[in-house]
Chain A
């Protein structure tokens, strides 16, 4: 794994996100770069990459940088890492993030497609709504279609 400071290592190895949330809140640029290195390093264990992805998505005022990092690694991520990445993009919520989320709408994994639906539900623009309708009507997996239908119903009620 990348050489990182002791407090970042502790946060990535912790049982729960308390330490990581504190590092995100302080928002040091060098910590962002360190997490970027963790994500991009092909030797990084999945657990640490997922936690670093989560951190980047919540980083204050670095939305565009975080999207670029995710875009550069997305094609080689595992199923669980893609779930984390799409969740992260949904929280970022910019147009660039939405575009990347939609690019995974035909992912082989039903759980990645579920995460696409959850991500788009946070964005709620017309493109996102169109994609949600497509999921509700045509996804091959019943629980994915059901999630899309529920999400559309909830968004229309709001």
Chain B
């Protein structure tokens, strides 16, 4: 029988240099206490070895004047992303780590001054350039950032500087915003303005018949994305 360490090393790249492996974080992908539930290591090891996954690093930005605490909804968001991706597309989401950065470059209210949210022809502001430098050494191509909002007050955005993939979500995000923005990035899925049951409906706070759906085509785009990997 293959050992847990071997699976985690070979499939996820953790513990390769001899460091200890945390079952909670490195295997189960649990980084917060905000969404307690039963989690099976056996099921997880099977999933790691058999199902495609998307690797993501998580960074919470806090001003230096406040406690350096991870975003309070981080585990809820990870579990939501996993529930939707697994049930709809047979893909799971692996968090390589969660980091809190104490800094004042977004001010005390942590507002991102972003030029636009275009998928193509995107202009990168100084704030965005600095934000998307964070977490690049954590072991994932995609980094998800928790901030308070952009200066326009949106819940999230998946536009990013070239070669620094990522998205941000704000404090007004719904339970579905994190996965919505991730899905803009993975598979380059666009909004579905007339499909109120779909994760990519423009306003995730108004999605009907929860949990949200993904279509076969959206799943194919996620499965075929080059960021989706397999053991």
The answer to whether B174 has its CB under 8 Å from any CB of chain A is yes
Q: Do A84 and B151 touch (CB < 8 A)?
A: yes
Q: With A14-B202, A14-B203, A17-B152 as known contacts, state yes or no: A83 contacts B109, CB within 8 Å.
A: yes
Q: Which of B111, B118, B181 has the most C-beta atoms of chain A within 10 angstroms of its own C-beta?
A: B111
Q: Which residue of A lies closest to B64 (CB)?
A: A143
In the complex, A143 Cα to B181 Cα: how many Å?
31
In the complex, A118 Cα to B151 Cα: how many Å?
12
Contact stretch, chosen from B16-24, B26-34, B36-44, B153-161: B153-161
- Interface size of A in residues (CB-CB distance below 8 Å): 32
In the complex, A47 Cα to B154 Cα: how many Å?
8
Q: With A10-B193, A21-B117, A118-B126 as known contacts, state yes or no: A15 contacts B154, CB within 8 Å.
A: yes
In the complex, A58 Cα to B118 Cα: how many Å?
13
Q: With A15-B180, A51-B153, A51-B154 as known contacts, state yes or no: A111 contacts B118, CB within 8 Å.
A: no
The answer to whether A64 has its CB under 8 Å from any CB of chain B is no
B187 to chain A, nearest CB (A): 15
The answer to whether A80 has its CB under 8 Å from any CB of chain B is yes
Q: Do A13 and B202 touch (CB < 8 A)?
A: yes
Residues of A close to B172: CB separation below 8 A: 47
Q: Do A15 and B104 touch (CB < 8 A)?
A: no
Q: Do B107 and A114 touch (CB < 8 A)?
A: yes
Q: Which residue of A lies closest to B204 (CB)?
A: A15
Residues of A close to B202: CB separation below 8 A: 10-11, 13-15, 18-19
Residues of B close to A115: CB separation below 8 A: 107, 113, 151
Residues of A close to B119: CB separation below 8 A: 18
Q: Do B174 and A54 touch (CB < 8 A)?
A: no
In the complex, A53 Cα to B153 Cα: how many Å?
10
Q: Do B108 and A111 touch (CB < 8 A)?
A: yes
Q: Which of A14, A79, A80, A121 has the most C-beta atoms of chain B within 10 angstroms of its own C-beta?
A: A14
Q: Do A16 and B158 touch (CB < 8 A)?
A: yes
B158 to chain A, nearest CB (A): 7
A140 to chain B, nearest CB (A): 13
Residues of B close to A80: CB separation below 8 A: 109, 111, 153
Which residues of chain B in 95-149 are interfacial with respect to chain A, using CB atoms and an 8 Å cutoff?
Answer: 104-105, 107-109, 111, 113, 115-119, 126-127
Residues of A close to B45: CB separation below 8 A: none
Q: Which of B107, B117, B156, B203 has the most C-beta atoms of chain A within 10 angstroms of its own C-beta?
A: B107
The answer to whether A36 has its CB under 8 Å from any CB of chain B is no
Q: With A83-B109, A111-B111 as known contacts, state yes or no: A18 contacts B151, CB within 8 Å.
A: no
B175 to chain A, nearest CB (A): 12
- Contact pattern, B 38-75, Cβ under 8 Å of A = 1, otherwise 0: 00000000000000000000000000100000000000
Q: Do A21 and B118 touch (CB < 8 A)?
A: yes
The answer to whether A41 has its CB under 8 Å from any CB of chain B is no
Residues of B close to A15: CB separation below 8 A: 154-156, 173-174, 177, 180-181, 202-205
Instruction: Return the 8 tightest CB-CB contacts between A and B, nearest first.
Output: A54-B152, A50-B153, A111-B107, A143-B104, A14-B202, A87-B151, A17-B117, A15-B155
6 further A-B pairs in the complex, CB-CB below 8 A; given A18-B202, A50-B152, A54-B153: A15-B181, A17-B117, A18-B190, A18-B191, A111-B111, A121-B126
